[in-house]
Chain A
Amino acid sequence: DTGVSQDPRHKITKRGQNVTFRCDPISEHNRLYWYRQTLGQGPEFLTYFQNEAQLEKSRLLSDRFSAERPKGSFSTLEIQRTEQGDSAMYLCASSFNPMGLAYNEQFFGPGTRLTVL
Chain B
Amino acid sequence: AQKVTQAQTEISVVEKEDVTLDCVYETRDTTYYLFWYKQPPSGELVFLIRRNSFDEQNEISGRYSWNFQKSTSSFNFTITASQVVDSAVYFCALIAAERYNNNDMRFGAGTRLTVKP
Residues in chain A within 8 A of chain B (CB atoms) = 31, 33, 40-45, 48, 50, 55-56, 58, 89, 91, 93, 102-111
- Give min CB distance, A19 to chain B, whole Å: 19
Q: Verify B44–A45 contact, CB threshold 8 A.
A: no
Q: Which of A44, A50, A110 interacts with B44 by CB under 8 Å?
A: A110
Residues of B within 8 A of A104 (CB): 50
Residue pairs across A and B with CB atoms within 8 Å: the count is: 62
Q: Verify A102–B97 contact, CB threshold 8 A.
A: yes
Q: How many residues of B contact A (CB 8 A)?
A: 27
Q: Does B104 contact A (CB under 8 A)?
A: yes
Q: Contacts A44-B107, A56-B102; is A111 near B93 (CB within 8 Å)?
A: no
Q: Which of B35, B43, B101 interacts with A105 by CB under 8 Å?
A: B35
Q: Which of A40, A44, A45, A110 interacts with B103 by CB under 8 Å?
A: A45
Q: Verify B101–A45 contact, CB threshold 8 A.
A: no
Residues of A within 8 A of B44 (CB): 108-111
Closest 10 CB pairs of A and B: A42-B107, A108-B45, A105-B47, A45-B104, A110-B44, A48-B103, A103-B33, A42-B91, A43-B107, A42-B110
Most buried by B among A42, A55, A56, A107: A42
Most buried by B among A89, A108, A109: A108
A103 to B33, CA, bound (A): 8
